[in-house]
Structure 1
Amino acid sequence: MYIESVPNRDSPPAILLRESYREDGKVRKRTLANLSCLPTEVIEGLKLLLRGGVAVPSAEAVFSVERSLPHGHVAAVLGCARGAGAASWFASAPKELQPLLLAMLVARVIVPASKLATHRVLHDDTASSSLGRVLGVGQCSADDLYRALDWLHEAQPAIERRLARQHLVGSTLVLYDLTSTWLTGRCCELAARGHSRDGKRDDPQIVFGLICTATGCPVAVEVFPGNTVDPATVAAQVSKLRERFGIEHIVWAGDRGMLTSARIEQVLKPQGMDWVSSLRAPQIAQLAAEHGPLQPSLFDERNLLELTSEHFPGERLVVCRNPLLAEERARKRGELLAATEADLAKIAAATRRERQPLRGEQAIALRVGRVIERFHMAKHLELSITDTSLSWQRRQEAIAQEAALDGLYVIRTSVPAAQLDAAAAVAAYKSLSHVERAFRSIKTVDLHVRPVFHYNAQRVRSHVFLCMLAYYVEWHMRARLKPMLFDDEHLDEASASRASPVLKAVRSEQAKAKDASKTADDGLPLHSFRTLLQDLATLAYNVTHTALNPEAKIVLTTRPTPVQAKAFELLGLNPACTQ
């Protein structure tokens, strides 16, 4: 038997209960009853019964939804954290702390906050996501999170050693850079005033250095007092790689402020390490004086020129000339000189005004000093100050000498050309941009390492280490989700096709097409990493029960949207399976 809807001209269709039978080898049907007078829900129930199902009065009478929590972002980050090996990182922790450590790691990615705020996110009564229920930590206390943080500090060397074995075996190039983040208050023993990369000169800070693979995957992090200068951290990192990780030979890539000549001589050479760095401006001027003017005609179509110098024995020097950078530096110098002269002209006018003219060599010099300090153009101007006047003229020779070096930078390396040619050396140095991206994500865009709410130095270190592990998970997620993000999937191919590694990296044609259309190849909208997590969060985790057995909880997840389904497909995860 079955129910069939039969069109009835301009009237509502007739709903008929029919059965089919076979007669003389043919299939025939006959009407058993006219059901048109029955309510729609009764007809739907009869259809379900005829298909072998069980009809119920209504869905509301069977299922009651107790809680509906954002879940998709939790399932995505938790699944990727487990896939990246997070369970093995925390395997030696006390059993009750293992799910808490995993919860803190996931929470740092989906909703970065203080540990007390994270406790509220996890707790059953105040949960704003399914994370606490999925991991079974909804009844944890805030002290439990701090105990987990203390254990993480003790486990940091072992976890970093595991990551180094996984990512640095067979690789000779590591990227190292340093950044700072400011603290509020004066209770932390690591807090000190130093060079702030964030422009927060009035606040104490901490400094932390990050070691990454050549592709930007984070491996280790170290926290230093805020007044630690960049080169002073190199020895500790070299010792870490050699003694803790057991890596005998490696090539360090660091900027010129990190791998100074003194640090190379005192740390890297005695340890038998190689390096890729760059020269400072005075050293470039010295090199130009040694080899004569570095004219554009000396460079080939790749804008590379390889030299040696007696001042850098055993090193290869790769001189790079970027025409666009030369043009930009010339423009900037001209604008700064013009701005400086405009302000000096105001001071000169003040010395000539009729009413209350500016008088006194010291008073005039104080105003001039503020202008010179603002634009840093004293090296290009010859100043003449008297008690009643101010005059100046440009040092054309000094300007010409600086202009001759516009667009030039010099890569220095100890790696033989057979292992790392000139173009590869330039590319290795430029790969430090991966570390800069990691700092940008950890500090501002995604993971928000600050505000740092801990005063204990041990917990500050473990907090920074937790942020590094969170970025490790994010780095792997980004690699898989690139088709859904504005990230350039074909950047390596575009870089390989460039005529010279000196030229500025450009986005591939495929990435430009994504930027223009704002959609992926399949027509779905593109996202940033953060907005994609927000989209995934709309996939809900519903805790329900039935009227027959209110104590038995049934978890139902909503059906994924096309965007969510694609994301989970790329990640290789099932949002309904999070245990």
Structure 2
Amino acid sequence: MFIDVVPNRGSPPAVLLRESYRDENGRTQKRTLANLSKLPGDVIEMLKALLNGGALIGTAPKDLAIERSLPHGHVAAVLGTIRKISLDRLILSTAKDAASRRFCDLVVAMMVDRLITPRSKLGFVRAVDEETAATSLGNLLRLGKVKDHEPYEALDWLLERQERIENGLARRHLKDGILVLYDVSSSYFEGHCCPLAQFGHSRDHRSDRLQIVYGLLCTRDGLPIAIEVFEGNAADPTTLKSQVDKLKARFGIKRVVLIGDRGMITSARIRDDLKTSSLDWITCLRAPQIQALAQGDGPLQLSLFDERDLAEISSPDFPGERLIMCRNRDLAMERARKREALLKATERELARVQANVRRKGSTLRSAAEIGLAVGEVVNAKKVAKHFALDIRDGHFSWSRKIEQIAAEAKLDGIYVIRTSVPKGELSAQNAVQAYKDLSRVERAFRSLKTVDLEIRPIRHWNANRVRAHVFLCMLAYHVEWHLRQRLAPLLFHDTELDRGRAARISPVASTEPSASARSKKAIKRNANGDPVHSFAGLIDHLGTMTRNIMRMPQAKKHPFTLLSKSTPLQDQAFKLLDLDPMRVQ
């Protein structure tokens, strides 16, 4: 028997099951046994193979074996993105020796692993080793047997190339006249041996731990370009000079606008670092400086806000600079509410102290003892300046400083943007929005520290290893930023945020989520009806796609790879990433 395909003029060909025989004259003839034209093509091909002497594999329980099944989808998404943005090529650069290639593969693997499941370096070794692999990562990069010391050697190798890699990122994403965001954060430290670890102002609220400080340079969109680690007791302004040198000397950018908060870009730093380097800046005035502008007939007059929420002024105290006054009425109401709540809470505690002083037989009698108790109360809520205290032996009373509170309340919701950029190059509205874009650096710190990458706690004791660890986390966030941009339709991200900002009447007003973002939050689906996720949740779901090593008993020396059937969400994600999970290597 055989299958014969017969042309049928303009119609599809007829697929017939036939057999050959000889007639009474000995001539060969064909007899049609069945018309197979309506069968699926793969079934027809299988029948052809069987009729040609092939065997049907997979009908018996032992005909097909799965040798190894490893989570693969999240690895393919992250590794494929690294390949697509050519970050691995930038890391390797011109190094061609086998050792550098090995170190580069390990660095890429650590970046991918940190985005998938942040863990210690020893945990990473176990996760990619061919015997104890937790994902397909080690297999895709052909890492083979990974020794315990190799990740640390790869970190040392990476740190030697940090400047060159950051220079490459700057060439790709920075240009003359660009606005650059800069901010500082800190992370607590485990151990006591690293010279970088010092006690300082803990942003993690872990004053019991040593810490390190690091400064992050980003594009205005929040894409990280460079990071630098400082000692844990370094003050924010002292980190600025090295960033100025980096932008001007290393990156070779002739004209750049640095955006930093008021605790970072101080008057001293402007005078000593920025002006001497011909660097422009955007920052904000501190509260005492705003109060000085509002005193008497100063340039900051509240009447300017009668019909608007933004006004530009000048002051002889800030020669050659633009001062952009802003008043957010919603923020003013919130600050007034919060102040009143803090004052009332403090008064309740002061009343308890007063009752204790008046109680017969109380041990709280001397002025010194009463002062200690009262100081603890008023300093707890940071409102000591708003109370007039009368403390004597056996006596305590207080009253609010009504005039001082009223003077402070007049400036509620008011902030002043300070910039050196000429008005012809940057409007007041764009200057305000540029300063508010610092929130994107804060989001980067949240991802680095808690949400996705877990840079802390830091367990290295060698200063260079600490620097390399922080730089590795920055590179991982660089990849995450690209992933978030591409996967935004499947995330809770507001994909119309920039369009909504452009449509606002004033940048001073709070940024409201777009209609699509509100809809995502309400029904947990996007406009196409696809479920939306957090970034970590989507990565976890992609990880349910497995990479299976298959083998047949008849072909033991020839295993093949088969991916598990993808879900609609996985198909949509890889479509957005423009990746084929089977072809990522």
1:235–1:267 CA contact under 8 A, matched in 2: yes
Correspondence for 1:180:
186
1:447–1:471 CA contact under 8 A, matched in 2: yes
2:181–2:438 CA contact under 8 A, matched in 1: yes
Task: Give CA deviations for 1:37-78 in whole Å, capped at 9, x if unaligned.
Answer: xxxxxxxx9977535565525354332111100000000000
Alpha-carbon separation, structure 1, partners of 2:492 and 2:144: 35
Alpha-carbon separation, structure 2, partners of 1:2 and 1:560: 36
Question: In terms of mean alpha carbon deviation, does 517-526 or 201-210 score higher?
Answer: 517-526
Correspondence for 1:9:
none
1:550 positional shift: 2.1
Give the 3 Å change call, closer, same or farther, for CA 46–172 of structure 1 in structure 2.
closer
1:134 lines up with 2:135 in the alignment:
no
Correspondence for 1:545:
551
1:305 positional shift: 1.1
1:515 positional shift: 1.2
Q: 1:264 aligns with which of 245, 270, 285?
A: 270
Correspondence for 1:376:
382
Correspondence for 1:84:
85
1:486–1:527 CA contact under 8 A, matched in 2: yes
1:237 lines up with 2:243 in the alignment:
yes
1:46–1:55 CA contact under 8 A, matched in 2: no
Alpha-carbon separation, structure 2, partners of 1:170 and 1:302: 34
Corresponding residue SS for 1:552: strand
Alpha-carbon separation, structure 1, partners of 2:486 and 2:63: 40
Give the 3 Å change call, closer, same or farther, for CA 291–555 of structure 1 in structure 2.
farther
Correspondence for 2:456:
450
- Over the aligned positions, Cα root-mean-square deviation in angstroms equals 2.3
Task: Give CA deviations for 1:331-351 in whole Å, capped at 9, x if unaligned.
Answer: 111111111111111111112
Alignment of 1:551-566 (within 5 A): 551-566=557-572
Alpha-carbon separation, structure 1, partners of 2:557 and 2:104: 28
Corresponding residue SS for 2:549: strand
Correspondence for 2:174:
168
The letter for the 1-side match of 2:530 is L
Task: Give CA deviations for 1:430-449 in whole Å, capped at 9, x if unaligned.
Answer: 01011000000000000000
1:20 positional shift: 8.9
Correspondence for 1:492:
498
The letter for the 2-side match of 1:88 is R
1:300 positional shift: 6.4
1:160 positional shift: 0.1
Corresponding residue SS for 1:551: strand
Give the 3 Å change call, closer, same or farther, for CA 20–524 of structure 1 in structure 2.
farther
Correspondence for 1:196:
202
1:408 lines up with 2:414 in the alignment:
yes
1:577 positional shift: 0.4
The letter for the 2-side match of 1:407 is G
Consecutive unaligned residues in structure 1, runs of 5 or more: 4-17, 22-28, 34-44
Corresponding residue SS for 2:342: helix
Give the 3 Å change call, closer, same or farther, for CA 374–79 of structure 1 in structure 2.
same
Task: Give CA deviations for 1:55-111 in whole Å, capped at 9, x if unaligned.
Answer: 525354332111100000000000001112222123245122222121111111111
1:389 lines up with 2:390 in the alignment:
no
1:171 positional shift: 4.3
Corresponding residue SS for 2:556: coil
Corresponding residue SS for 2:558: coil
Question: In terms of mean alpha carbon deviation, does 292-301 or 469-478 score higher?
Answer: 292-301
Corresponding residue SS for 1:264: helix
The letter for the 2-side match of 1:569 is K
1:73 lines up with 2:74 in the alignment:
yes
Alignment of 1:503-514 (within 5 A): 503-514=509-520
Task: Give CA deviations for 1:218-245 in whole Å, capped at 9, x if unaligned.
Answer: 1000000000000000001111111111
2:257–2:280 CA contact under 8 A, matched in 1: yes
Give the 3 Å change call, closer, same or farther, for CA 220–270 of structure 1 in structure 2.
same
The letter for the 1-side match of 2:235 is V
Alpha-carbon separation, structure 2, partners of 1:479 and 1:171: 24
Question: In terms of mean alpha carbon deviation, does 244-253 or 212-221 score higher?
Answer: 244-253
1:50 lines up with 2:47 in the alignment:
yes
1:275–1:413 CA contact under 8 A, matched in 2: yes
Alpha-carbon separation, structure 1, partners of 2:514 and 2:491: 14
Alignment of 1:308-347 (within 5 A): 308-347=314-353
1:574 positional shift: 0.1
Correspondence for 1:7:
none
2:57–2:64 CA contact under 8 A, matched in 1: no
Alpha-carbon separation, structure 2, partners of 1:453 and 1:565: 39
2:293–2:300 CA contact under 8 A, matched in 1: no
1:302 positional shift: 4.6
The letter for the 2-side match of 1:226 is G
Corresponding residue SS for 1:95: helix
1:548 positional shift: 2.0
Task: Give CA deviations for 1:304-362 in whole Å, capped at 9, x if unaligned.
Answer: 01110111111000010000111111111111111111111111111222243531111
Correspondence for 1:38:
none
The letter for the 1-side match of 2:47 is L
1:102 lines up with 2:84 in the alignment:
no
Corresponding residue SS for 1:228: coil
Alpha-carbon separation, structure 1, partners of 2:18 and 2:177: 73
Alpha-carbon separation, structure 2, partners of 1:514 and 1:313: 48
Alpha-carbon separation, structure 1, partners of 2:106 and 2:337: 55
1:552 positional shift: 2.6
Give the 3 Å change call, closer, same or farther, for CA 237–32 of structure 1 in structure 2.
closer
The letter for the 2-side match of 1:74 is V
1:48–1:55 CA contact under 8 A, matched in 2: no
The letter for the 2-side match of 1:263 is R
Give the 3 Å change call, closer, same or farther, for CA 500–49 of structure 1 in structure 2.
closer
Give the 3 Å change call, closer, same or farther, for CA 575–388 of structure 1 in structure 2.
same
The letter for the 2-side match of 1:191 is A
2:516–2:526 CA contact under 8 A, matched in 1: no
Alpha-carbon separation, structure 2, partners of 1:217 and 1:519: 27
1:170 positional shift: 4.1
1:446–1:530 CA contact under 8 A, matched in 2: yes
Alpha-carbon separation, structure 2, partners of 1:136 and 1:57: 30
Give the 3 Å change call, closer, same or farther, for CA 260–541 of structure 1 in structure 2.
same
Task: Give CA deviations for 1:117-170 in whole Å, capped at 9, x if unaligned.
Answer: 111110011111000001001312121211111010000000000000110024
The letter for the 2-side match of 1:525 is P
1:181–1:198 CA contact under 8 A, matched in 2: yes
Give the 3 Å change call, closer, same or farther, for CA 57–575 of structure 1 in structure 2.
closer
The letter for the 1-side match of 2:56 is V
Task: Give CA deviations for 1:265-285 in whole Å, capped at 9, x if unaligned.
Answer: 000000000100000000000
Question: In terms of mean alpha carbon deviation, does 461-470 or 139-148 score higher?
Answer: 139-148
Alpha-carbon separation, structure 2, partners of 1:375 and 1:280: 20
Alpha-carbon separation, structure 1, partners of 2:453 and 2:396: 52
Correspondence for 1:467:
473
Alpha-carbon separation, structure 2, partners of 1:298 and 1:149: 56
The letter for the 1-side match of 2:581 is P
Alpha-carbon separation, structure 2, partners of 1:382 and 1:299: 32
2:357–2:396 CA contact under 8 A, matched in 1: yes
Correspondence for 1:306:
312
1:553 positional shift: 2.5
Corresponding residue SS for 1:108: helix
1:49–1:55 CA contact under 8 A, matched in 2: no
Q: TM-score, normalised by structure 2?
A: 0.90
Corresponding residue SS for 1:109: helix
Alpha-carbon separation, structure 2, partners of 1:244 and 1:434: 24
Correspondence for 2:64:
63
Alpha-carbon separation, structure 1, partners of 2:81 and 2:207: 38
1:431 lines up with 2:437 in the alignment:
yes
